[in-house]
Each structure stands twice: as C-alpha cells, then as structure tokens.
Amino acid sequence: MNGTRASLRLSIASLRTHRRRFAGTFVAVLLGVAFLTGTLVMGDTLRASFDTLFADANAGTDAVVRGSDVVTVAGETQGTRQPVGTALLKRIERTPGVAAAAPDIQGAGQLIGADGTPIGGQGPPTLAGNWIDDPELNPYRLAAGRAPAAPGEVVVNRGTAERGGLRIGDTTVLRTPDPVHVRIVGLATFGGQDGMGQVTYTAMTRADAEKYLTPKPGRASAIQVRAGPGTSQRELVDALRPVLPEGVEAVTGQAAAAENRDLISGAFLGLFTTLLLVFSGIVLLVATFSIHNTFAIVVAQRTRENALLRALGAARRQVLASTLVEAGAVAVIASAAGLAGGIGIAAALQALFPAVGFPFPDGSLVIGAVSLLLPLTVGVLVCLGSAVLPAVRAGRTAPLAALRESAVDDSGASRTRALAGPVLLVASVGVILTGALAAPSVWLSAVGAVLALAAFVVLGPVAATYAVQALGAPLDRLRGVTGRLAGRNALRSPRRTASTATALMIGVAVVSLFTVFGASLKATMNRTVDRSFAGDVAISVPSFGAGGSGLSPRLAPAVDRLPQVAAAVGLGKGVAKVDGAGRALTVTDPAALGKVFDLGRVDGSLAGLGTDGIAVSGTEAAKRALHPGSTARLAFADGKRREFTVRAVYDRSELAGDYVITRQAWAPHRAQDSDSLIAVSFRPGVSTADGRAAVVKTAAAYGNPEVQTRGEYARSSAGGIDMMLTLVYALLALAVLIALLGIANTLTLALHERTREMGLLRAVGQTRSQLRSMVRWESVLVAAFGTAGGLLLGGFLGWVLVEASAGDTAVAFDLPPLRLLVVALVGIAAGVLAGRRPARRAARLNVLRAIAAE
C-alpha cells in the first residue's frame, strides 16, 4: 500500500530529524529492558549453576534413606525430619544392588575464625556433619590434607577456612553450640567450588558427630546409598523399600538433589528474582510515564505539521500510523539495546560476585528464550502503549490547525478528571481502609494501592495547579521574577507537569513506602522489647538467617549462678505438629520465664508444666479453642505422639512465642540442644555495665556470643531490615534516574517550544545565569511536586502495609522524619540535576536567532 509507505517514510524522516527528542525515551526503555533482562538471565544462570553444582556434588549418591515425616513451621523452608537409626545400615548394606552405604549426620556447627569471631551465621546456614569416607557418597572432596581420623579432627570447606583465616594444622573452636576444640586436618570443596555458596561446613569423625550433633549415638539424619554396577537409582529404591521400617523412606539421589536445589532456588533465588522482577516492573512503570510524556509533547509540537499533512490529504489513519511506527522503531531499537545491556549486566555481576566474596558458581550465562522474548515484548509494548493515546490525538488533528498560531499543548485539567479523580480516590481509600483495618487483607490493600495510584495519576493535573502554586509561592518572593517565571512555566500545562512528575512520584512513593514500613518494623521491635522484655541484657544469636549454631544450653545456668544475676532464662526452639499443623515451640524453664519476660495476663500457672504440661498464647488458644485444663495433641519429628495438658494461657506472645514447654518435655525429641536467646535480669543495685561485664566474661567460655543491652537487642532484632532497605534503595535509584531523565527530557522539549520567549527574555535583559536559574527552578518545582505526591502516597501506603500485614500481632506505625526528609531532599536534588543540562543548553541560546525562530 502506497499510503503505508508514505507514513513509514514520514516516520523515518521524523526520527532522523528529531533524534534528540527521543533520546530520553530511548534511554528509559533501554534501562527498563536491561534491568528485566539482567534479572531473568541472572536468575536462570544462578539456577542452572546450582543445578550443576548439586548434580555434580551428589552424583555418587543413588538413594537417600531418611525419615518420611516432616514437621514444617511457617517461615521455615526446610522443615525437620525424623532421624534414622544407624542400625539400619547393616540391613541396607546386605540388600542386593547396594554397593556402599554411609550414615549422614547433619547439624549446626559454627567455627570460630583465627581472629576469635565466629564465621558466617548472618544468613546462610553453618553446617557440621560427619566426614563420609566413601568419596562417591560424600558431596565434599578433599582438596588438601586428610580426612578426620581422631577425635577433635575436622575437615573444613575451603571457602570457610579462607574467610576465617584458618589453615591446616590450626586449632580453633566449633560451637555445636557447646564449644568443641578442634584441629583442622583437611580442606574440602563442594562440586568443584570452595563451598556451597556462603554455607560453612565442618566435618568431623562419625563418633564426634554422633557425640556433638545428636542427642544419643546410633542416629543419623539420613543414610546415603550407592548402587552397584547395573542397578539404576529407581531399582535401588525399589530394592530398599521392603527392608525399611515404618516411618523411613528411600528416595533416589536425583530426587534428593532436586529437593535440595529447589530449596535453595525457592528460598534464596525465588526471593531474589521476585524482588528484582517487582523492581523492574516499577522501573518500567516509571518509564511508561516518561515515554508517554515525550510522545504527547512531540505530537503537540507537531500539530501544525500533522495538520498540514491532513490538509494535503493524509488520512487520519496515516497520521496515527506514522506516529506509532515512530514509537515502534524507538521501542525495537531501544529494547534490543536493553537486551544487550541486560546480558552485559548479568555478565558483569557474574564477574563481580566472587570479588565481593560471594562465590558465584562458574559456568556460562544461561540465556533462555523467555529472557529474550519477555523483555523485548514488554519493552515494545510499554513503548507502543505509551504512544497510543498521543498517536490517536495526532490522528485527530484538524487540517485547520495548520493555520492556527499556537503549536503548544497548553491543555489544562479536564472536567472528567476533576470528577473521576475524587471518585477514584474515595473508592481506593475505601478499599484500602477495608483491607487495612476492617478485614485485614494484604491483597485487598494491594488492589486499593493500585486504585490510589490511578487516582493520583488522574488527579495529577488538577493537583499540579494548586501544588505548583503553593510550592512556587516562596520562590516568587525569594527569586523575584525568575522564580515567578519558573512557577508560571511549570503551570503552563498542568497535564504535562503532572505526568512528568508522576514518574518521580512513583519512585519516591515506593522508596517512602519501604522507608515507612522498615521504620515501623523497627518501632514494633522496640515496642516489643519495651513491653515484653523485662530483663536487663540479652544473649542472642543473629536474628537474620539461620542464626549460626545457637547458644550452649549450659550458658544460661552458668550465667544464672553469677552473683550479679537474679535470673537467666534460656530459650530454645522446638517444632511439633499441634493438632496436625506445624508449630514452633519455645523450650525453656517456664517457671522462671516471668522473671525476664512480661507475659501480660496469665490464666493458670507456668510453674508446674512438668513433662506433660504446655502453656499457650491467648491468640493461639482462642484459635484452637484451648483453655487451661484442655488437651493439646503434639506430634514430634521423631514420630512420637504425646498429649499435653494446657496449664497456662498467657497474653503476650511477642517474645515467648505461641507454645511453651519445659526442657524435660522436649529432651526426648530433640536433636541438638541449643538456646537461641538467653534473657538475663540483674539483682537490684547491679548496674547494667557491671552486670554486663560479668555476663560477657562468663559467655567468653561458651564461644563468645554477643551480650546486648535492651536497646541493642531491639536494634539487632531489626538488623535485617536496614540491609533490605539498602538493597531496595539501590534498586530504586534506577527508577529515580529514569524519572530524572523524564524531567530533563520534558524540559528540553518544552524549552524548544519556548525558544522565542527565551530570546525575548534575553533581549530585554535576562542574564544567562537568570535564564539558567529559571529553567532549574522549573525543574525543581516539577520534582518537588512529584516528591510531595510520592511522600504522601508512599507514607499512606506504608501505613496501609503495616496495618494490613499486622494480622493478629500488634504493630507500631512509625514515620521516620529524618529519613523521609532525606527522601524529600533527594527528590528535589533530582530536580536540580534534571534541570542542569536543559538550563545549560538554554543559556547557550543565540538571542537573535531565538527571536527569529518559528
């Protein structure tokens, strides 16, 4: 069709002449697509690397014999399995098709580095186990030294030894959690790598492992089995099944490796990629606004040109098509560049990770079809979608518009907006309040949040008028006519100002949402400690991640004996199914618990729980219809079922958890004995400093765990939050960058429209620096509007998130003034930055040529 070719020619000509105008669009699409591609490629590559790693490491294991029952507690990925008796080993070895079998004892063990501080424990687990002599069955390989043969001898994975500055021949302490003095006799690798990510691994002799990692000898976490020649994994499992007692199962090595891999993929990679995908979504959303704005302006500026085309006989469809083709061309080129960029980012990260101490598994980048097609499609759709409305508007250009003077889009806020906006806003607030307060539901709140965002977008132009006037008022007074001009310019097209600011608003809103949410979590922790922690100091394991090996169960009694200490109560963790549902248990001395925790109102007594009594929190009791005197059926991971009598129902579960049982009741069912928190209260008259010094001295002999005051304990409980916030800020910096580019781009385009005006201003005596300042202040006003909207929206949604995620637990809402002020300043600084280049370019303007410009 000739007409199509004509519009195609027009598009290409336009792209060529207005290359500069599309630079901003190009970069926005490119960054968004690059982020998305990078995320997908990174995810695939990591997943593939872990696949290979696990497949390689476990290649020699053909079957795994293990307890069939798993107790899983909310918030934990792995769950607890019943141990297997090692007596089974003989029977397994005699089974036809079995070449070798070895017990696999696994537990927690944290090694102390050469400098006296524990290695790891701030995330990935710190594992200890028995060294399996059969090299086929052991996922670890000796890289140096020899296998442990005598008591106290250990092999450590090479990465851990390097991190801790430990060498073969060194002696150190392994917390299991009781300190064990060990000597390193060998270094090991996992699947050819220095370790399994940041996981630390210490292997001892089987006798040591049984002694320190299991409650009594004769039990292992699992038994690894190797098949003889000619026996497949499937056949091996089938042969093993008849010899296994009830409650013990056999799975193929492949299945077990896949489970392990999925665990890592699910827990670590899943979270990692989901987070990144959400952020690429935000980045692309921000980009959408920037792109839409660019096209809207370009179309407005081209009104006369399009009208001329229409007057000369171009069909509406042809004008529309020429705009869309333009958008499509930018989209495809920018998306392709983004793809390349994303792959580059992934490659760079792969190279960078080992440098920052994260052993990224080797292997080439995995670039799947999805990683290519999805970002490309999304990039093109975002770009085309953003251009559709402006293109339709271009098509609607009346031929008569060619004759009109003004080619500037000075459209204000329409009545539809003024009506639809408030309706949408009220609806969103309604939905949100229902979701946050009446029927707490994160999903309902999320729907409300989307509605609120839509309301803000629709109301933007209406709000822009008032907001810019209000924000610009001080400028008028401070900066005189320069400030006034900046304000008036920002007000010229409220729609344009609003949509430019929206990009920044979204970025700032997400930043403030996370800021508020993070601060609220911290405030909640503070309040919890304030309300419920009645002690003076706490000895705790890192709250973030697996928490190392925990605390020695003998530490609490040792601290309790100190003359300064009134009470020291250790709390350990247990798991059991309560009426069929996995639940975490708090294992402690319930009688003493009241001395260090404020449990609120207690029905019944915690004093005499014995081996068959249990205390339950009020909320959990209400949910399961338990009350003092009623019976709770617990099923433990070792397969034992016991009935417990509820002897007390307490009010505050923030620190004590939902179920409390005695050490005596837990002892028969536990694997490794450890505490995760020891709460200490001092005798009257003992200063915190003195008491703490005494506790620190005692604790030194038990692996030197950290002794924290109440404030430190509250802060460390929220320690992971700051880390998450830092990551979120880093990711959102990209969104803010795109918004900044959008402001700069809009400003450049707007200044292009105002060339004559600026020429006039310069002619009648505006200095270059006044002109620069005028442009900059306009940029700052737009940014300030976006930032204000973002703070408002983010603050509100932060409150919603806090309320909606609260569920039963009481949470504290906190608006951190200092952090939000920093966010506001960053937003405004973005405006200053965005205005720099357009301002400089405007100042270079030739006065005469500007006055003569069309």
Q: Which residues would be at the binding site for another protein (CB under 8 A)? A: 480-482, 484-485, 488-489, 491-492, 756-757, 760-770, 847-848, 851
How many Å apart are CA 577 and CA 592, to the nearest integer? Answer: 25
Q: Which amino acid, residue 561? A: R
Nearest to another protein of 769, 809 (CB atom): 769
Provide, rounded to whole angstroms, the least separation between the CB of residue 798 and another protein.
37
Nearest to another protein of 759, 827 (CB atom): 759
Beta strands 63-67 and 80-81, pairing class: unpaired
The residues facing 172 across adjacent strands are: 182
How many Å apart are CA 705 and CA 715, to the nearest integer? Answer: 16
Provide, rounded to whole angstroms, the least separation between the CB of residue 471 and another protein.
16
SS3 content of the chain, % helix, strand, coil (to 5): 60, 15, 25
Nearest to another protein of 408, 447 (CB atom): 408
Nearest to another protein of 175, 495 (CB atom): 495
* Residue 100 near residue 86, CB atoms below 8 Å: no
Tokens describing residue 843: 């100042």
Provide, rounded to whole angstroms, the least separation between the CB of residue 845 and another protein.
11
How many Å apart are CA 709 and CA 692, to the nearest integer? Answer: 8
Nearest to another protein of 358, 466 (CB atom): 466
Tokens describing residue 278: 């959400």
**DSSP string across 512-547:** HHHHHHHHHHHHHHHHHHHHHB-SSEEEE--SSTT-
Residue 477, Cβ neighbours under 10 Å: how many? 9
Nearest to another protein of 491, 728 (CB atom): 491
Nearest to another protein of 561, 849 (CB atom): 849
Nearest to another protein of 364, 767 (CB atom): 767
Tokens describing residue 108: 């927690």
* Residue 516 near residue 799, CB atoms below 8 Å: yes
Provide, rounded to whole angstroms, the least separation between the CB of residue 748 and another protein.
18
Nearest to another protein of 19, 849 (CB atom): 849
Mutual angle of helices 719-753 and 768-806, in 10-degree steps: 140
Nearest to another protein of 428, 770 (CB atom): 770
Provide, rounded to whole angstroms, the least separation between the CB of residue 800 and another protein.
39
Taking Cα atoms as reference points, which of 295, 289, 497 lies closest to residue 392? 295
Stated length of the chain: 854
Provide, rounded to whole angstroms, the least separation between the CB of residue 410 and another protein.
8
Contacts (Cβ under 8 Å, ≥6 apart) of 519 = 814, 815, 816, 819
Provide, rounded to whole angstroms, the least separation between the CB of residue 482 and another protein.
8
How many Å apart are CA 744 and CA 741, to the nearest integer? Answer: 5
Residue tagged 């960078």 (tokens): 352
Provide, rounded to whole angstroms, the least separation between the CB of residue 764 and another protein.
5
* Residue 841 near residue 752, CB atoms below 8 Å: no
Provide, rounded to whole angstroms, the least separation between the CB of residue 852 and another protein.
10
Provide, rounded to whole angstroms, the least separation between the CB of residue 733 and another protein.
34
Provide, rounded to whole angstroms, the least separation between the CB of residue 762 and another protein.
7
The pair phi, psi for residue 74, each rounded to 5°, is -55, 135
* Residue 160 near residue 113, CB atoms below 8 Å: no
Residue tagged 């490629």 (tokens): 41
Nearest to another protein of 658, 753 (CB atom): 753
